[in-house]
Amino acid sequence: MATVGHITDHLSGPEPLSLPTKLHEWVVTVDHKRLGLLYIATALVFFAVAGVLAAMIRAQLAFPNGKVLPPDVFNRFFTMHGTTMVFLVGMPFFAGLANYLVPLMIGARDMAFPRLNAFGYWMFLFGGLLLYFSYIGGEGLAGHGTAPDVGWFAYAPLTERAFSRGTSTDYWILSIILSGIGSTVSAINVIATIVSMRCKGMTLARMPLFVWLMLVVSFMVLMALPPLTAAQTMLLLDRYLGGHFFDTQAGGSAVLWQHFFWLFGHPEVYILMLPGFACASEIIPVFSRKPIFGRPAMIGATVAIGMVSVGVWAHHMFSVGMAAPSNIFFAAATMMVGVPTGIKLFNWLGTLYGGQIRFDAPMLFCIAFLFQFLIAGLTGVMLAVVPFDWQLTDSYFVVAHFHYMLLGGLLFTLFGAIYYWFPKATGRMLDERLGKWHFWLLVIGFHLTFDPLHFAGVLGMPRRIYTYAPGRGWEGLNLLSSIGVVFQAAAVSCLIWNIVRSLRRGAVAGNDPWDAWTLEWETSSPPPEYNFAVLPEVRSSRPLWDLKHPEDPDWKYE
């Protein structure tokens, strides 16, 4: 038997790899596609963890005087939820998409620096593990605290040694510095790839919008992360060497931390959102059967968002008592962001207008994104009005606003992207029926959870309270919100089941299941290690359209 087995193995190609060898290959890989998948898979695991934390938080808040979580655990949970979602889900998920797709879309065989790419991934992974290791190691030698409980923006001087004893805050600082280094090298890599590795004919004007947006995001990462790294370093110096950066008793400033943090934190919001725009800008045209409407305006609006976004940070700080001119400046700048964002929204609508729209799962998610993102943008402009912000800052209105942005906007495009590119990465389609279940359950769950929170905020419910007394008019709204979590959990379960099932039994996708126009659909699914046997040469922004329609190519008109 052994001999026969050996012979058939020999005939059917190379011997199948043993599990350790396979795992070893994933560990030592420098292939941009594998690293991209590693990023995405890791981000999804952290997403599930952060989702469980959020579900526990909502369980605690479902009824007044809740007893599910004690207050100190509650503080740790919202800190870990926020930190995980921003640094370990949002950023790496799109680092993964950029890694996987940018070289394919610009007709390159790998990223500019493959080993640096692997370095970035492992920094991110160990940064994330370090954050969660705090649950075990956070007590440290001093015996105080476990996981960090200082909130995701960790206002100093509460994070100083006198108020945050033990090592939990240090875990938070170090893990974010580590994953920040990962994000920075990944951004450097994306820029160098886009600038230096494009295939022949891929001019900047012909580059897919996804690639354009990733280029802008990467520049923003380069500018936005250093303030965070610097502020974290200062905090470490304070905590361990007795520095006084944020020590108010020695003349240090509590507001300086806020400036540094939001100088990072607000561009960070756009760093998270723009990749969502990037996915929508690829998916909407393909499923409308029309080229994107107003391509140059889209690119211009993206660059404008990138530039304006570094000048709006202090709108997070209206209530700390800045001078009136500062308030006016930052309010005006914040409203200005609405202009390029509005341009984008109208361009997506213009793309839909008159198109032959196909309502497949990726498109459904993008259409929901348009509606929800609009509402999120409107509440954002409301919060930019200084007196309105004074009234509602640090209330559940703000929580509802940014969750509308990050869930209703970002997460929906993220799921759309999974449905859209899964066939390319695995060679198999995700199940459409399960996809529709996933979509509708998520829409219901999302609106149930976050629509009522706007009203709870207006009724005065502050964020970060671990419980509340009955009789303030918050009970019904909070209960509705918590019920929504059940639907969201069911929706995510549909996705997980869909992925597991489709990996084995999904319909075979072929190279180009969506009849799309960008280069990644030209190669096989999944792409070979070298991506393209012959490096492509492009003459328009829709190279595959030119290929499929030689009688009416785009390059005649561009």
Partner 1 sequence: MSELAMNPTIAVEQAEWKLPDRGRVGLACLIVTEFALFSIFVVAYLFYAGKSLRGPTPAQVLEVPVWATVCLLSSSLTVALAEHALKLEEMAAFKLWTGVTVLLGLEFLRQTAREWHHLILDWHLTIGTNLFGTTFYSLVGLHASHVVVGLTLLLLALTLVVLGKMDGEDRRFGLLAWYWHFVDAVWIVVFTVVYVVGR
Of 68, 230, 381, 479, which lies in the binding site for partner 1, with binding defined by CB under 8 A? 230
Of 102, 522, 527, 542, which lies in the binding site for partner 1, with binding defined by CB under 8 A? 522
Interaction of residue 225 with partner 1, rule CB under 8 A: yes
Query: Rounded to the nearest whole angstrom, what is the least distance from the CB of residue 247 to partner 1 in the complex?
Result: 8
- DSSP single-letter state for residue 85: I
Query: CA of 170: how far to CAs of 88, 154, 173, 452, in Å?
Result: 17, 11, 5, 36
Interaction of residue 235 with partner 1, rule CB under 8 A: no
- DSSP single-letter state for residue 462: B
Quickly list H helices, 404-532. 412-426, 432-458, 475-505
Of 30, 237, 370, 444, which lies in the binding site for partner 1, with binding defined by CB under 8 A? 237
Which residue from 35, 24, 29 is spatially nearest to 182, judged by alpha carbons?
35
Query: Rounded to the nearest whole angstrom, what is the least distance from the CB of residue 190 to partner 1 in the complex?
Result: 9
Of 187, 215, 331, 407, which lies in the binding site for partner 1, with binding defined by CB under 8 A? 187
Residue nearer to partner 1 on the CB measure, 231 or 272: 231
| Rounded Cα distance, 156 and 318, in Å | 17
Torsions phi, psi for 291 (to 5 deg): -65, 160
Query: Rounded to the nearest whole angstrom, what is the least distance from the CB of residue 123 to partner 1 in the complex?
Result: 15
Residues paired with residue 537 on neighbouring β-strands, in sequence order: 200
DSSP 397-418: HHHHHHHIIIIIIIIHHHHHHH
Site string for partner 1, 248-277 (x = CB under 8 A): --xxxx--x---x--x--------------
Which residue from 303, 390, 388, 396 is spatially nearest to 344, judged by alpha carbons?
303
DSSP 92-144: HHHHHHHHHHHHHHTT-SS-S-HHHHHHHHHHHHHHHHHHHHHHHHTTTTTT-
Interaction of residue 215 with partner 1, rule CB under 8 A: no
Query: Rounded to the nearest whole angstrom, what is the least distance from the CB of residue 236 to partner 1 in the complex?
Result: 10
Rg (CA), the chain: 24
Residue nearer to partner 1 on the CB measure, 98 or 364: 98
Give the start-end residues of each E strand in 148-192. Answer: none
Interaction of residue 546 with partner 1, rule CB under 8 A: yes
Residue nearer to partner 1 on the CB measure, 486 or 547: 547
The stretch near partner 1 (CB under 8 A) out of 56-64, 289-297, 423-431, 540-548 is 540-548
Interaction of residue 241 with partner 1, rule CB under 8 A: yes
Of 19, 28, 141, 534, which lies in the binding site for partner 1, with binding defined by CB under 8 A? 534
Q: Which residues contact 264 (CB under 8 A, 6 or more apart)?
A: 224, 225, 227, 228, 231
The stretch near partner 1 (CB under 8 A) out of 275-283, 354-362, 424-432, 527-535 is 527-535
The stretch near partner 1 (CB under 8 A) out of 293-301, 394-402, 483-491, 532-540 is 532-540
Residues paired with residue 462 on neighbouring β-strands, in sequence order: 395
Query: Rounded to the nearest whole angstrom, what is the least distance from the CB of residue 350 to partner 1 in the complex?
Result: 29
Residue nearer to partner 1 on the CB measure, 216 or 453: 216
Query: CA of 245: how far to CAs of 152, 226, 253, 272, in Å?
Result: 20, 17, 7, 29
Q: What's the gap between Cα 252 and its chain centre?
A: 34
Interaction of residue 243 with partner 1, rule CB under 8 A: yes
Interaction of residue 244 with partner 1, rule CB under 8 A: yes
Residue nearer to partner 1 on the CB measure, 41 or 174: 174
Of 41, 73, 222, 307, which lies in the binding site for partner 1, with binding defined by CB under 8 A? 222
Of 71, 242, 387, 470, which lies in the binding site for partner 1, with binding defined by CB under 8 A? 242
How many CB atoms lie under 10 A from the CB of residue 10?
Answer: 10
Of 44, 150, 231, 312, which lies in the binding site for partner 1, with binding defined by CB under 8 A? 231
Of 196, 325, 356, 471, which lies in the binding site for partner 1, with binding defined by CB under 8 A? 196
The stretch near partner 1 (CB under 8 A) out of 240-248, 341-349, 432-440, 444-452 is 240-248
Interaction of residue 404 with partner 1, rule CB under 8 A: no
The stretch near partner 1 (CB under 8 A) out of 118-126, 235-243, 291-299, 445-453 is 235-243
Interaction of residue 397 with partner 1, rule CB under 8 A: no
Residues touching partner 1: how many (CB under 8 A)? Answer: 53
Site string for partner 1, 100-119 (x = CB under 8 A): ------------xx--x---
Query: Rounded to the nearest whole angstrom, what is the least distance from the CB of residue 322 to partner 1 in the complex?
Result: 14
CA angle (89 as vertex; 301, 254 as ends), nearest 5: 80
| Rounded Cα distance, 87 and 65, in Å | 32
Q: What's the gap between Cα 325 and its chain centre?
A: 33
CA angle (148 as vertex; 142, 152 as ends), nearest 5: 150
Interaction of residue 226 with partner 1, rule CB under 8 A: yes
| Rounded Cα distance, 176 and 183, in Å | 10
Q: Which of residues 428-487 bind partner 1 (CB under 8 A)?
A: none
Residue nearer to partner 1 on the CB measure, 227 or 409: 227
Interaction of residue 550 with partner 1, rule CB under 8 A: yes
The stretch near partner 1 (CB under 8 A) out of 237-245, 323-331, 346-354, 450-458 is 237-245
Q: What's the gap between Cα 531 and its chain centre?
A: 26
Evaluate whether 197 touches 103 at the Cβ level (below 8 Å): yes
Of 83, 84, 189, 498, which lies in the binding site for partner 1, with binding defined by CB under 8 A? 189
Cβ-count burial 282-314 (b if 16+ within 10 Å, e if not): bbbbbbbebbbbbbebbbebbbbbbebbbbbbb
Cβ-count burial 336-358 (b if 16+ within 10 Å, e if not): bbbebbebbbebbebbbeebebe
Q: Which residues bind partner 1 (CB under 8 A)?
A: 112-113, 116, 184, 187-189, 191-193, 195-198, 200-201, 222-223, 225-227, 229-231, 233-234, 237-238, 241-245, 250-253, 256, 260, 263, 522, 532-539, 543, 546-547, 550
